[in-house]
A = this chain, B = another copy of it.
Amino acid sequence: MGAAGLPQWLTMDFKSRIDLFRDAIGFEGLGDAQIQQIGGLSFTKGFSKGAIVFSESDACNYFHLVAKGLVKVSLVSYGGNRITYLLAGSGEPLNLVGPFSGAPRPLCAEVLEDALVVHVKREDFTTFCYENPAVMHNIIIILGRAVDSANSRILDMMEMRVEQRLLRVLLTLYRKFGKTLDFTSIELAEMAGTTTESTLRVMARLRQSEIVQTRRGQIQILQVEHLERAGSESMWI
């Protein structure tokens, strides 16, 4: 599990980590000295596809920032349903609240593409934030967006059909990753808030209309216009 058995991946050198933090989400508006400070407090760890960065039961001991690869943060219910809350690529943080509460949160972070994740010890991170309120300011803005996004998804569940929700998901993914999407229908279902079967049925329709083209674990978007027609607003994931 985890990074066990991995080749000893390059730990990023200091300069690369600095560059990462400089452009990372949540660290806007910091001076060079501060960027160097937080960079110096960080270290990296490699994870291969399928590995778990943290899970529901874990107390939060580190702040995590994705440096390379892709990590999915999701939420499971007692009934076994799962929704994805966040898809974090390079420069995107995984847990903005955890370091402040320290308590475990009902979230699970799973690696979708082999990833390099930067760690900062919880205390180091919070101390740094207290000394740089601008970072906390940024975090509050980001969490505000997350709340808005989640609330929009509730409204979407009420008034949009599965097909529309899936189109919105595809549009969002297209804007983030381009025309080639490496996701399974299971993963799409978790983003749209529906079942695998319903997703598959919709995808079959879209394929017949030549709006998309599918392979095992991959979707090619052929007609972007059709996605934009069904709701030009994308989600925040």
Contact = CB atoms under 8 A, between A and B. Distances in A.
Interface of A: 75, 77, 79, 81, 83, 85, 96-97, 100-101, 105-106, 126, 129-130, 133, 136-137, 139-141, 143-144, 146-148, 150-155, 157-159, 193-194
A64 to B, nearest CB: 15
B193 A97 contact: no
A85 to B, nearest CB: 6
A148 B77 CA distance: 12
A54 to B, nearest CB: 15
A151 B193 contact: no
Given A101-B141, A106-B148, A143-B144, A83 B154 contact: yes
Contacts of A136: 133, 136-137, 140
A152 B100 CA distance: 21
A100 B143 contact: no
Contacts of A140: 96-97, 100, 136, 139-140, 143
Q: Which secondary structure dominates where chain A touches chain B?
A: helix
Contact of A81 (B139, B150, B155): B155
A140 B157 CA distance: 27
Given A75-B151, A144-B105, A151-B83, A193 B157 contact: yes
A137 B157 CA distance: 32
Contacts of A144: 96-97, 100-101, 105, 143
A157 to B, nearest CB: 4
Contacts of A85: 147, 151
Nearest to A140: B100
Contacts of A79: 155, 159
A86 to B, nearest CB: 10
Given A97-B143, A105-B144, A143-B97, A154 B153 contact: yes
10 contacts: A81-B159, A96-B140, A100-B137, A101-B144, A105-B144, A130-B137, A136-B136, A136-B140, A143-B143, A147-B150
